[in-house]
Structure 1
Amino acid sequence: TRDWLPEGHLASFILDVVEELDVGAIEDPIQAKDHRGERAYEPRMMVALLLYGYSTGVFSSRKLAQATWTDLGARVLAAEAHPHFTTINQFRLDHHKALSALFLQVLKLCQKAGLVDLGHVAVDGTKIQANASKHKAMSHTRMLESERRLEGEVAALMAEAEAVNKREDAAFGDGDGSTIPDELKRRETRLIRIREARQALEEEAKEARRLELRLQAEKARESMKKAENTTDVLKAERRAMARDAAVQKLGPENPTAIPGAKDELPFHKVPHDKIGAPKGTAQRNFTDSDSRIMGRRGAFQQAYNGQIAVAEKNQIIVAQLLTNQPPDAEHLVPILEQVRESLDAFPTKLTADAGYWSESNGSFCEDAAIDAYISTRRRRHREHQGDQEPARPPPIASRTKAGLAMEAKVTSEEGRVIYAKRKWVVEPVFGQLKECRGVRRFKLRTLPKVRSEFSLHCTGHNLLKLWRSTTTAEE
C-alpha cells in the first residue's frame, strides 16, 4: 500500500522512523496480557498513526479514526485497518508514559542527522488552555459557603419529603418511602462533589505547608553548620526543632496530595496559612484538578505552562517540559538539565526573556559555563535594534550587582545582536504549534497525561523538521 503515496510523503517517512524506534515499553505490556479475546492492533501501527496525527494537527481520536478512511497517508499507516476512536484514545491513555518517551528517541535521530547544534539555544514558555473551564473552579471560601447552603437546602428538602410521605401514608396507606425527589438528588450530589474538592484542597494545602516547614528546617540546619558562635548555633537549632515539631502536628503525610510534587519539576503550591489550612482565595477546578488559573496577556484562563528549549540551527526542540506552576523562572534550571541529560552537553549560548531572570539562574549558568543572555526587564518592541526610545528601567529586584551586570551584557552591542535572535528562534516554534497545528487547548486531563500530550506535540514538531531536512537533501 506504500505505492499509493507519492515519493517523499510524510506517511512513508513516519513508517521508516517508527521502524527505528524502540517501542518495547508499549509492546511488552500488550504481550503480557491474556492472549484470549480480541487481538490487539499492531503497536507500531498505532504509534505511527498517532505520530502522523500530531505532526499534521489531528489530535482528536475521532478525527484520527475518520482519517483512516479519508486520508491517504493515514490509510497507509493503518494498513487498511480502521481502529475505533475509543481504541485509539485508550491506547494513548494506557501508554502515555511510553509515548512521552518517544520525544528523546526522535531528538536523537535529529542529532544523528546533524540537525542539532547547541551553539545557541533559546528558552521560552507559553500558557496552553487545559481541558477545563475557569468557571468550574471554586475558591475555598466559596466551597465552605456552598456547603453550608446546600446542607440547609438538603435538610429542608428532606423535611419536606418526610412531610409528603406522612400525608401520602395517611391518605393511601403505608409506602416503602424509597422515592427520593430529583431535586434532592441533585443537591446531594453537588454537596458531595464540593465536599470532596474542599477536602482535597485542604489536604494539598497541608502538604504544601509540610514541604515549606521541611525546607525551613533544612535551612536552619545549614545555618548551624555555618554559625561562628554558640548563640547562633542554639538559635538555628531551636528554629529547626520548632519546624520539625510543626511538621509532626500536621499528621500523617500524603505524598500524592500535590500534583507533580515527586517529579523534580516546579509545581504549584496551594496558598496556605501557618497551620496548613488553605487561604480563602485558594482554588480547585472540578473538571481538571491539576490545572491552574494562569494569566496571559491580561486575561485569565485554566491552563498549564509549557516550556521549550529550541536550538537556533533548524529550530529543533532540544528539551520540553510542562507544569502547573505559572512563573517561568523556576523552569530554567530543569530545562537546561534536561538538555544536558539528553545531549550530554549544556548550550554554549542561551537567550531567555525577563521571566527567567533570577540571581540563582544567573549563577547556575555561570557555573555551567553557559554564556547566558537573560533580560532583567521587559523590553520595548525593537529595543534590541538600538532605537532612541527611552528604555524601561529594570525592576527593583534586578538592581543588584548580578542583575546590573546581566543588563549591561544584554544591552551591549554584541548582546543586542545575540538577544535579538531569540525572537526568531523560539517564538516561531510556538507559532507553528499553535497557529499551524492548532495546539490551543489540550485534549487530556491531569498533569501526567497532559505532559504526555505536550511531549507528543513537540515530537511531532521535530519529526516535521527531520522529514523536511530529508526531502530537501534529496532535492
Structure 2
Amino acid sequence: MANFLPFDRDQPFLLPPDLKAWIPDDDLAHFVIAAVERVPLHSFAIPRRTGGKPQYNPRLMLALLIYCYANGLFSSRRIERATYRDIAVRFIAANQHPDHDTIATFRRTNAQAFEAAFLQVLLLARETGLLRLGTVSIDGTKIDANASKIRSVRYDRAVALRERLAADIAALTAQAEAADAEPDPQALPGELARRDVLKAKLDEACARLEAQAQAEADAARPAYEEKKAAHAARKGRRGPPPSPPDPTPPADRQSNLTDPDSALMRRSRTAEYRQAYNAQAVVCAEGSQLILATGLSASASDAPSLAPTILAMEPTLGLPAAVLADCGFGSREGVEQLQARGIDPLVAIGRTQPHRPYDFRPPPAVKPERQIKEPWRLDMKAKLETPDGQALYKRRKQTVEPVFGIIKSAMGFLRFHLRGLGPVAGEWTIVALAYNCRRLHRLCHA
C-alpha cells in the first residue's frame, strides 16, 4: 500500500523571523542587493515632495527591477504580482509592494541610475579580478519594439490619408452642426474625434519624415556645392550638372504611428521584416563574457555604431586593445577612428563561415569572388589571413553570440516594453545589467 506524506492546507504556520532563512545563501538576490548598495543616491531621479505618502527607496526599486529582469519578469504588472508570490522578490522588496504604475514610472525615468549601476557591477568585477580589459567583441541583434509593423505608414500614403481625413472631418463637422446632435457644444461626435486623432498622428508622421529629409538635404548641400563648382570649372564636354539634394521625403519612406523612433528591419535576407531596434553589446573576450558597453539605434546597419560604442568606454572602463566584429561593422571611418586611438580592429571582410561538408542543404550557387579595391579592406583581409589574426578572430563567435542567446532564450527578453529611443536605450541597459549580475554571480560561485 502506498505511503503518502500527510498535508493540511488549512494548517496555520508562522513565517521565519528572518525571510533570508527561506532563500539559499548563494541566491542571486543577495548579489543584486550588494551591487545596488554601491549606486549613489544622486544617480536616481527622485521627485521632490513636500508632503503626502513617503516614496519607495530608489535602491529597493532598482534591485527589484534587476532581479526580476534577470529571472524573466519584464511586465510591471507581473513584477507587482511577484512581490506577493515570489519569496526572493518579496525579500528584495522588503515585504513592500510597489504598484505597477510606480514600477513603470521608475523604469521610464531612471536611465542615469541604470547606467551607474551597470558601471558599479563592472567595477566590482574588476576589483575581484574577473574582468580584464583587453580584447572585446561587438555585435548587434534585432529586438522587437513595442509597436506593430502594420502601424507603419508610407509618406505618400500619409499625405493622401491626410487629405481624405480633412474632407471627412469637415463633412462630419457640418453634419453635427446641422443636426445639433450633441447636447454638449464642447464635445465632439465619436466619429469626428477618432478621425481628428488619426489626422493628428498622420500630421506628426509627415512632419517627422519631412524634417528628416530636410536634415539629409542640408547635410548633402556642401558636397553638392563642391560638385557644382567642379562641373562649372570643367572645360569641354562637361555632361549634365549634378542634381541638388531633394528636401522632399521619398514616397516609400515610412514612419510608425505607435513608436516613431523604431524602424522596419530584419535579421537577414531570409527573415521577415519586423518593427524593431538594433541593440548593440560590447562583450569581454578575455573569459568573463561580461557586457562592457551597450548601444541602441534605429538603423538596421551595424557599421555606424562601431566607433561610437567602443569609444564611449573610455571615461568609464578605458579603451580595449583589440576589437572583434563581423562584416556588418565594416566601415572605413569606424576602423580609422579606432586605429587613431591605438585600438586594433579585426573586422571580417565578406563571409567567414564556410559551407559545411555534410550540410543537408544544397550547396550555394557559385558566385564570382568580390573584387576588393579599398586599401583598408585589403589590409584587414591580409591581417585576418595570418595565423595570429585567425586565432584571435575565432574568439568573436564564442563570446558575443552566447550573450544574445542567454538574453533571448534563458532570460526570455524578446521585446522592449517602453517606446522611444531614450527609454528603450535605458531598458536595454537594464537587460545588460541583469545579464551581468547573472554572469558575475555564476563566476563568483563557480
Q: Do the aligned residues in 1 keep the contact of 2:136 with 2:284 (CA within 8 Å)?
A: yes
CA distance in 1, matches of 2:176, 2:332: 65
Flag the 1:315–1:391 CA change in 2: closer, same or farther, 3 A.
farther
Q: Matched residues in 2 for 1:108 and 1:391: separation?
A: 49
Q: 5+ residue gaps in structure 2?
A: 1-18, 234-243, 357-362
Unaligned runs of 5+ in 1: 169-174, 224-230, 236-272
Q: What residue number does 1:320 align with?
A: 294
* Alignment-derived partner of residue 289 in structure 1: 260
For residue 282 of structure 2, what is the aligned residue in structure 1?
A: 309
Residue 190 (structure 1) aligned to one of 158, 179, 198: 198
The structure in which a higher percent of residues are helix is 1
Residue type matched to 1:10 in 2?
Answer: L
**Identity %, equivalent residues:** 33
Cα deviation digits, residues 377-435 of structure 1 (max 9, x gap):
1233468xxxx999976645x43232122123223333333222211111110101111
Q: Which residue of 1 aligns with 2:376?
A: 402
**Of 34, 53, 62, the match for 2:68:** 53
Q: Which residue does 1:11 correspond to in 2?
A: 29
CA distance in 1: counterparts of 2:20 and 2:253, whole angstroms: 55
For residues 42 and 296 of structure 2, the distance between their equivalents in structure 1, rounded to whole angstroms, comes to 25
**Equivalent residue, structure 2, for 1:145:** 160
Q: Does 1:121 align with 2:136?
A: yes
**Equivalent residue for 2:92?**
77
In structure 1, what is the Cα distance between the partners aligned to 2:26 and 2:168? 66
Instruction: For 1:152-167, list aligned pairs within 5 A.
Output: 152-161=167-176, 164=179
Rate the CA distance shift 1:308–1:177 in 2: closer, same or farther, 3 A.
closer
Show CA shifts across 1:188-238 (max 9, x none).
33223212322233233323433444x649x96xx9xxxxxxx99x98xxx
Partner of 2:341: 368
- Contact residue 197 and residue 286 of structure 1 kept, 8 A: yes
Give the superposition deviation at 1:164.
4.5
Question: Structure 1 residue 177: deviation in Å?
Answer: 7.5
Q: Which SS does the other structure have where 1:304 is aligned?
A: strand
Q: Give the distance between the partners of 1:64 and 1:290, measured in 2 at CA.
A: 26
Aligned to 2:408: 434
Distance 1:411 1:390, change over 3 A: farther
Distance 1:357 1:394, change over 3 A: farther
Cα distance in 2 for residues equivalent to 1:412 and 1:403 = 15
TM norm structure 2: 0.83
Q: More displaced, 331-340 or 97-106?
A: 97-106
User: Is this contact kept in 2: 1:377–1:393, CA < 8 A?
Assistant: no
Contact preservation (8 Å) 1:293, 1:300: yes
The SS at the match of 1:315 is coil
Structure 2 residue identity aligned to 1:407: K
Aligned residues: 407
Does the C-alpha gap of structure 1 residues 105 and 393 become closer, same or farther in structure 2, counting only changes over 3 Å? Answer: farther
Whether the 8 Å contact between 2:145 and 2:276 is mirrored in structure 1 is yes
SS in 2 for 1:372: strand
Counterparts of 1:27-426 in structure 2, within 5 Å, are 29-30=46-47, 33-161=48-176, 164=179, 181-213=189-221, 216=223, 274-297=245-268, 298-312=271-285, 313-347=287-321, 349-381=322-354, 395-396=370-371, 398-426=372-400
Counterpart in the other structure of 1:241: none
Is the partner of 2:129 in helix, strand or coil? Answer: coil
**Alpha carbons of structure 1 residues 410 and 42: separation in structure 2 relative to 1, 3 Å:** same
Q: Measured at CA, do residues 80 and 418 of structure 1 come closer, stay the same or move farther in structure 2, by a change above 3 Å?
A: same
Q: Whole-Å Cα distance in 2 between the matches of residues 141 and 390 of structure 1?
A: 38
SS for the counterpart of 1:451 is helix
Aligned partner of 1:21 in structure 2 is 39
Q: Which amino acid aligns with 1:303?
A: A
CA distance in 1, matches of 2:59, 2:280: 28
What is the RMSD of the two structures over their aligned residues, measured on CA atoms? 3.0
Residue 108 of structure 1 aligns to a residue whose secondary structure is: helix
Match status 1:448 vs 2:422: yes
Distance 1:68 1:161, change over 3 A: closer
Any idea what SS the aligned residue of 1:279 has?
Answer: coil
Match of 1:467 in 2: 441
424 and 393 in structure 1: CA distance in 2 versus 1, 3 angstrom threshold: farther
Would the aligned equivalents of 2:162 and 2:199 in 1 still touch at CA under 8 Å? yes
Distance 2:197 2:263 in 1: 24
What is the Cα deviation at residue 15 of structure 1? 1.5
CA–CA distance in 2 between the matches of 1:51 and 1:84?
17
| Aligned 8 A contact 2:323 2:346 in 1 | yes
Kept in 2: contact 1:346–1:370 (CA 8 A): yes
Change (3 A) 1:316 1:181: closer
